[in-house]
Amino acid sequence: MEHLDMLEAESIYILREAYKKLGKLGMLWSIGKDSTVLLWLAKKAFYGHSPFPFIHVDTKRKIPAMIEYRDKIAKELGLDLIVHTNEEAVKAGISPENGRLACCKALKTDGLKQVVQKYGFDGLIVGVRRDEEGSRSKERVFSERKEDDAWDYANQPPELWDQFKTDFPKGHHIRVHPILAWNEIDIWEYIKRENIPIIDLYFAKNGKRYRSLGCECCTGQIDSDADTLEKIIEELKHTKSGERAGRKQDQEDSYAMQKLRKEGYM
C-alpha cells in the first residue's frame, strides 16, 4: 500500500471511531494546512457529509487573510461553523505583552475550554501531528482531558491495536488526533494529490512565506521562493529548520508546549 493511502486509511478509521463512539463531537478548524487536510479527510470518511460542527477559536489576533478565507470556505462547503472568542480576555486587553504563554492560555486554551463547556462536547477532533514538537510526539490518538481540560501526560492509558479510549466519566472529554502519524511533507503531498484548496499565505510572495499559521503577533514568515505546491515540497525535503521555528510562543521556555498543553492547549 502506498504511504499516503496508508495514512489516509488510518485517519479515516480514527474519524469513524470517534463518530461512532463519542457522543457530542466537534472538529477544530484553524484554517491552517493540517486542519484543512483533516476537514477533507472527514468529508471522505462520511461520503461528502460532515456530521459534526467545525470550531474556530478566534483570538481576534489572527492574520486578517485567515478570517476572510475562513468565511469564504465555510460558505462554499456549507460548514456548520462555530466561531468562538474569549471575549472577556479580549476586553481585558490580553496580549503577548502579558507574556506569550499567558496570552496563548487566555485566548486559545481558555477560549477552547469555554466552547467545550458551552456545547458539552465529549470529543474534539484536533489536527496535531507528532513531528511538530516533543510533547505531541508522546500523544495518544484518543487522549483524555479531565474536567479542567488537564492532560495527565505522565499517566496515559495503554492504546493498542486501534482500540481507543472510548470510556470516560461525564465531564471529561477526548481529544481525537487523526493525523498524529502524518509529517509535514505528507500533508503537502496529500494536498497536492487530492487538490485540496488551501489558503495562499503558505505560498511565497516577495521572497517570504508562512510555514505555520497562527496569530499575527506571534507568527513569523520564512525566507522562501516556494510559490507552488511542488516547490514547497522540494523546499521541505531540504530544510533543516523546525516547522514551528516561526511560532514565538514555543521559544518562551524549554518546555513551553508541554506546559501549555498540560492545561488544555491543542
Positions touching other proteins (CB under 8 A) are: 1-6, 8-10, 12-13, 16-17, 19-20, 43-49, 51, 130-131, 133-135, 137-138, 140, 153-154, 156-161, 163, 165, 167-169, 181, 183, 194, 240-243, 245, 254-255, 258
| 254 CB neighbour count, 10 Å cutoff | 9
- Identity of the residue, 88 or 197, whose beta carbon is nearer to other proteins in the bound complex: 197
Burial of 239 from C-beta contacts in 10 A (0-12 / 13-18 / 19+): middle
Shortest Cβ 157–other proteins spacing (Å): 5
Smallest separation (angstroms) from other proteins to the CB of 145: 13
C-alpha cell at 7: 495514512
Structural contact between residues 265 and 126, judged by C-beta atoms closer than 8 angstroms: no
Nearer to other proteins, 13 or 119 (CB): 13
**Measured from the CB of residue 36, what is the shortest distance to other proteins in angstroms?**
15
Cell of 140: 495518544
**152 and 101 Cβ atoms separated by less than 8 Å:** no
Indicate the residue among 30 and 135 with the shorter CB distance to other proteins.
135
Residue 215 β-bridge partners: 62
Distance of closest approach, residue 84 Cβ to other proteins, in angstroms: 26
Residue (117 or 137) nearer to other proteins, CB: 137
Q: Whole-angstrom Cα distance, residue 236 to residue 99?
A: 31
